[in-house]
A and B are shown apart, each in its own frame.
Chain A
Amino acid sequence: MTAEGANNGRVPAGPTPAHTAPAHTAPPPRALPGGGEHRRHTLVAIVLDKPGVLNRVASLMRARNFNIDSLAVSHTDQPDVSRMTITLHGDDVAVEQATKQLYRLIDVLKVQDVTADPTVEHELALVKVRATDSNRAEILKIVELARGRVVDVSAESVIAEVTGVESEVDQFVALVRPFGIKELVRTGTVVMARGAQSIEEAIRR
């Protein structure tokens, strides 16, 4: 939704210009919704924990042509209420359209785009890296520098656990890739607003 009174760059606001013979002037083309710059958005959706709710959200995003980058679902402290963190790329108007479409789902209680809000954002990754006696120490050093920890060691591999924002995890993965990644799993981003405010409290029944 555009801000109230915005003119979308077409017709000057303020006093209405005379339009008695509009066909003789060439107006600028009408702005299309969703034509803006793409950036990564993070949405938090509070939903009723009912069978199929994940399917409803995923199906809606597919049907409406929104491409989900990551989706993390979990319980909350309230019984029957789940929380989803969805990251996706799109322009602001398109993502707002996604949130409004999500609101149409009966089981969705609240959707908030927290992209511009101060948040704590984390993703956890487990990376199984090929390791040998000669390079294990080097791998452990990288894990340490990335503030990760080693959770499993075998003769031929190391499982490292790292957390951080998406780009930090990306960076770590890039650093250990030369050693050979045997397996990689990432949880997808979860976020929480900084400070005392609570997205969940607003819908507490």
Chain B
Amino acid sequence: MTMTKGGTAKPPSPDANAPTDATTTAAPRRTHVPGDGTAHAQAVEQARKAMLHEVRARKRTRIGADVVCEALIRQGVDVFFGYPGGVILPLYDVLGDYPELRHVLVRHEQGGAHAADGYARVTGRVGVCMGTSGPGATNLVTGIGTALLDSVPMVAITGNVPDVLIGKDAFQEIDINGITLPMTKHNYLVRNADDLPRVFAEAFHIARTGRPGPVHIDITKDALQQETRAEHPTDEEVMAGLPGFRPNMDGHPRQLKLAAAEIARAKRPMILAGHGVLHAEAWDELKAFAERTQIPVAHTLLGVGVIDETHPLSYGYMGMHGWKHVNRAIQSADLLFAVGMRFDDRVTGNVRTYAPYARIVHVDIDPAEIGKNVAVEVPIVGDARRVLQAMLRLVDQVDPADRIEYFDQLAEWRRESEGSSWHGSGAWRDGLLSADFVVQRIGELSEHRGTYVADVGQNQMWLARYTGFREPNSHVSSGGLGTMGFSVPAAMGAALGRPDRVTWAITGDGGFQMTFQELMTLVQDRIPVKIAVFDNKKLGMIRQWQEIIYAGNYHSAHLLGPDYLKLADAFGIPAVKASTPDEVDDAIRFAQGVDGPALVWFEIAEEQNIFPMMPAGKGLSDLIEKWGGAEE
């Protein structure tokens, strides 16, 4: 953010020693400068001047900005994403003294927030992003909201105007604390450097403990500049300071026993696994539990990767664009063992007709999620890993032979559903390049060992369905908020978090055009993200809805894009184009062979839809599998 000279600063009135009590003096001389001539007004003027003319007197005593850097290092932060601006400059002034901290200069604060998000999702650690006051802070908001809806641990730091200017509509002042209040797990406004050690320790603790989420810390400029000797608190002191924050980690023994009894009775059980399993790092326990009880595992969009998709008990992705066989199995199940998922409307469709034969065991760390969207028979509040560990001790080993009829039925449904809407030849109608084929080849040619970051829309669904996921935390997707433009910046953070894996950002041409300014960040910071632009010259999911739900009334679904090869070239990124099925493999190999960021422009069929599709408001049994008589 640039800084321009604001309003004219009027010097304090000469009669500054006049009585200041408004009730005992004559009427104030000017009404538009409150308390003119008072000590308070002088402080305001001083602060305003300090903000407009950066004070360079740098004393290397410990100041608030140092505390921030110390706290980040103490919390194990190795990289964070930010953008400087007027009031956060004191922090940038000391950053050079902390070479342990790698600061990535993004091109837009939203990109910084998504990058922190992507970093957090692949590492399980707290992602950190930073911006200045006003527009810097509001630009972070979309990224913070994305992290909240997907329960991603994040700390967002913003600067704010000096304390005395707060509430005065100062330059680049906005009530960012009020803005982030309903969209963070917790937020802080720090006005005193002495509070910084405690606030940072609390923020990281809150962000990562229990159900993770974003925490926002707003720091006034003077708090960053004040000298302080305040010490960083111990973990015990942090806990003692948060008496209202005690997440319940272990499920209640009585409830666990009830759940075990439900499992013992069930003939057609399904496990529904979600993001909470990944947050709790409970994938080994989930696998052991599924194997012991011989219950197939279906997963949510954010639960992709909870189980190796080639595992015999992995049944697949559920919900609006999930596999038909999975939704069918849920609709006929007699028991749903839901763990770390929240029965989102994209998962259940119409709740009235959802899983009509099923009793539900619901395991979640957040008590508010249980009974929120569907009524459940056995609520269990606890950490997915701890609950699954406890459940393992309560359930008997089930012989797969006992479930032979059930498994045969599931296998038959699966064969039926996997055969449809799949283009193994790579060609959709008229030989046009099919998107599902492309994501599958990306998965195969990266040996299913990469990090795959989705944008939002059709590309997101193709990626979740056809890539073939083997490892936890290898799939990154904005599920809850559905933030277009997420993929490239999130992949940036994911690549830095897991440099051992190839990182693919899969994006539609619409989402890509929202945030592609971060291409320059990839180049400047040498972040090796491989970008697959799925160009159908459409907002594909919008077009699909308009075709099917709005009677073909296409409006604003068609969008122009640039020449992506020239675009990549302008950024200095090697790029290649693939428009036919036989060009796909070479293009993917080319990108993976580049030492650094690379881009592949996939010209895919313009009107390919993603099926099956559950129309909004309908139930899981009302899937649309094809449209207009045409084979999809």
* Pairing of A with B: yes
Binding site for B on A (CB under 8 A): 1-2, 4-8, 10-11, 15-16, 18-20, 22-23, 27-33, 47-48, 51-52, 55-56, 59-60, 63, 93, 96-97, 100-101, 103-109, 203, 205
Q: Does B351 contact A (CB under 8 A)?
A: yes
Q: Is the interface of A mostly helix, strand, loop or mixed?
A: loop
Q: Is the CB of A2 within 8 A of B375?
A: yes
> Could you name 30 residue pairs across A and B whose Cβ atoms are closer than 8 Å?
A1-B370, A1-B376, A2-B375, A4-B254, A4-B379, A7-B359, A8-B377, A16-B265, A16-B267, A16-B334, A27-B356, A27-B357, A29-B352, A30-B351, A30-B354, A30-B355, A32-B352, A32-B375, A33-B371, A55-B178, A55-B181, A60-B182, A100-B367, A100-B368, A103-B368, A105-B186, A106-B244, A108-B244, A109-B243, A205-B243
B352 adjacent to A30 (CB under 8 Å): yes
Within 8 Å CB of B245, what residues of A? 106
Residue of A16, A27, A63, A97 near B266 (CB, 8 A) is A16
Are B371 and A19 interface neighbours, CB within 8 A? no
State whether the Cβ of B378 lies closer than 8 Å to any Cβ in chain A. Answer: yes
Chain A residues whose CB sits within 8 angstroms of the CB of B405 once the complex forms? 20
Once A6-B377, A32-B351 are accepted as A-B contacts, the answer to whether A97 and B371 lie under 8 Å apart by CB is yes
Given A1-B370, A101-B368 in contact, is the A19-B268 Cβ separation under 8 Å?
yes
Contact with A along B330-370 (1 / 0, CB 8 A): 01101000000000000000011111111100000011101
B268 contacts A203, C-beta separation under 8 Å: no
What residues of chain B lie closer than 8 Å to A205, measured between beta carbons? Answer: 243
CA distance A185 to B562 in the complex (A): 63
Contacting residues, chain A, for B77 (C-beta < 8 A): none
List the 5 shortest-distance A-B pairs measured between CB atoms, nearest first: A27-B356, A100-B368, A29-B352, A106-B186, A1-B371
A1, B244: Cβ atoms under 8 Å? no
> Of the candidates B189, B357, B376, which one forms a contact with A19 in the assembled complex, judged by CB atoms under 8 Å apart?
B357
Residues on B with beta carbons closer than 8 Å to the beta carbon of A93? 371, 375
Kindly state the separation between the CA atoms of A92 and B356 in the bound complex, as whole angstroms.
Answer: 23
**A106: min CB distance to chain B, Å:** 5
Cβ of B567 under 8 Å from chain A: no
Q: Give every chain B residue within 8 A of A105 (Cβ-Cβ).
A: 186, 244
Q: How far is the CA of A1 from the CA of B266 in the complex (A)?
A: 22
Task: Report yes or no: A11 in contact with B186, Cβ–Cβ below 8 A.
Answer: no
Residue among A8, A19, A29, A32 with the most chain B CB within 10 A?
A19
On whether the beta carbons of A30 and B353 are closer than 8 Å, the reply is: yes
Contact A33 B255 (CB under 8 A): no
How far, in whole Å, are A20 and B372 apart by their CA atoms in the complex?
30
Chain A proximity of B230: nearest CB distance (Å): 18
| Bound Cα distance from A174 to B357, whole angstroms | 52
| CB neighbours of A55 from chain B (8 A) | 178, 181
CB contact list, B230-289 vs A, under 8 A = 242-245, 254-255, 258, 265-268
B239 to chain A, nearest CB (A): 12
Known: A11-B358, A107-B244. 8 other contacts (CB 8 A): A4-B254, A11-B359, A16-B334, A30-B375, A52-B181, A63-B182, A104-B366, A106-B242
* A19 near B370: Cβ-Cβ < 8 Å: no
Q: How far is the CB of A92 from chain B (nearest CB, A)?
A: 11
- CB <8 Å contact, B356 and A30: yes
Produce 1/0 per residue, B130-170, CB < 8 A to A. 00000000000000000000000000000000000000000
**Given A19-B334, A22-B332, does the pair A59, B368 have CB atoms closer than 8 Å?**
no
Judge whether B332 and A59 touch: CB under 8 Å: no
Chain B residues within 8 Å of A, Cβ to Cβ: 177-178, 181-182, 185-186, 189, 206, 242-245, 254-255, 258, 265-268, 331-332, 334, 351-359, 366-368, 370-379, 405
Residues in B neighbouring A60, C-beta threshold 8 A? 182
Determine if A30 and B374 form an interchain contact, defined as CB atoms under 8 angstroms apart. yes
- In the bound complex, what is the Cα–Cα distance between A205 and B178 (angstroms)? 29
Report B190 CB to chain A, min CB distance, Å: 11
Expressed in whole angstroms, the Cα–Cα distance for A165 and B242 within the complex equals: 35
In the complex, the answer to whether A4 meets B373 with C-beta atoms within 8 Å is no
In the bound complex, CA of A20 to CA of B403 (Å): 12
What's the nearest-Cβ distance from chain A to residue B203, in Å? 10
How many angstroms between the C-alpha atoms of A108 and B185 in the bound complex?
13
In the bound complex, what is the Cα–Cα distance between A52 and B176 (angstroms)? 13
Q: Write the chain A residue with the least CB distance to B183.
A: A63
Nearest chain A CB to B276 CB, angstrom units: 15
Q: Measured between alpha carbons, how far is A52 from B358 in the docked complex, in Å?
A: 43
Please judge, given known A-B contacts A2-B371, A106-B244, whether A10 and B356 are in contact too, CB under 8 Å.
Answer: yes
* B182 contacts across to A, CB distance below 8 A: 59-60, 63
Bound-state CA distance A56–B181 (Å) is: 7
**With contact pairs A15-B265, A107-B244, A205-B243 given, residues A22 and B357 touching in the complex (Cβ less than 8 Å):** yes
B189, B356, B366: residue with the most chain A Cβ atoms closer than 10 Å: B356
B368 contacts across to A, CB distance below 8 A:
97, 100-101, 103-104
**In whole angstroms, what is the CA distance A86 to B114 when docked?**
37
- Give the docked Cα–Cα distance between A97 and B365 (Å): 15
Asked whether, in the complex, the Cβ of B186 is within 8 Å of the Cβ of A2, the reply is no
B-side contacts of A106, CB under 8 Å: 185-186, 206, 242, 244-245
In the complex, what residues of B have CB within 8 A of residue A15's CB? Answer: 265
The answer on a CB contact under 8 Å between A109 and B357 is no
Within 8 Å by CB of A5, from B357, B366, B377, lies B377
Contacts of B372 in A (CB 8 A): 33, 97
A11 to chain B, nearest CB (A): 6
If the complex has contacts A2-B376, A5-B377, A106-B185, are A29 and B353 also in contact, measured as CB distance less than 8 A? yes
A101, B189: Cα distance in complex, Å: 22
Chain B residues near A19 (CB, 8 Å)? 267-268, 332, 334, 357
A7 to B335, CA, bound (A): 12
In the complex, A33→B374 CA distance in Å?
6
Return chain B residues, CB-CB under 8 Å to A203: 243
Chain A residues with CB under 8 Å of B358's CB are 11
Q: Nearest-CB distance from A53 to chain B (Å)?
A: 10
Report the separation of the CA atoms of residues A69 and B359 in the bound assembly, to the nearest whole angstrom: 36
Q: Which of B178, B243, B268, B375 contacts A8 (CB 8 A)?
A: B375
Interfacial chain A residues near B374, Cβ < 8 Å: 30, 33
What's the nearest-Cβ distance from chain B to residue A33, in Å?
5
**Most chain A C-beta atoms within 10 Å of own C-beta, residue among B255, B357, B359, B375:** B375
| Distance in Å: Cβ of B391 to nearest Cβ of chain A | 16
A144 to B458 Cα, complex, angstroms: 72
B195 to chain A, nearest CB (A): 12
Q: With a CB–CB cut-off of 8 A, which chain B residues contact A97?
A: 368, 371-372
- Report the Cα distance A4→B375, complex, angstroms: 11
Q: How far is the CA of A96 from the CA of B92 in the complex (A)?
A: 46
**Partner of B244 from A20, A96, A109 at Cβ < 8 Å:** A109
Q: Which partner residue on chain A sits nearest B369 by CB separation?
A: A100
CB <8 Å contact, A48 and B243: yes
User: CA separation between A63 and B180, bound complex, in Å?
Assistant: 13
Closest to B368 in A: A100
Q: Within 8 Å CB of A33, what residues of B?
A: 371-375
For B206, the chain A residues whose CB sits under 8 A away are 106
Nearest A residue to B343 via CB reads: A33
Most B CB atoms within 10 A — which of A11, A51, A108, A109?
A11
Residue in B334, B352, B372, B378 whose Cβ sees the most chain A Cβ within 10 Å: B372
Chain B residues with CB under 8 A of A22: 331-332, 356-357
Residue numbers in A under 8 Å from B185 (CB-CB): 104, 106
On whether the beta carbons of A4 and B371 are closer than 8 Å, the reply is: no
| Residues of A with C-beta under 8 A to B268 | 19
Most B-side CB within 10 Å, residue of A4, A8, A59, A203: A4
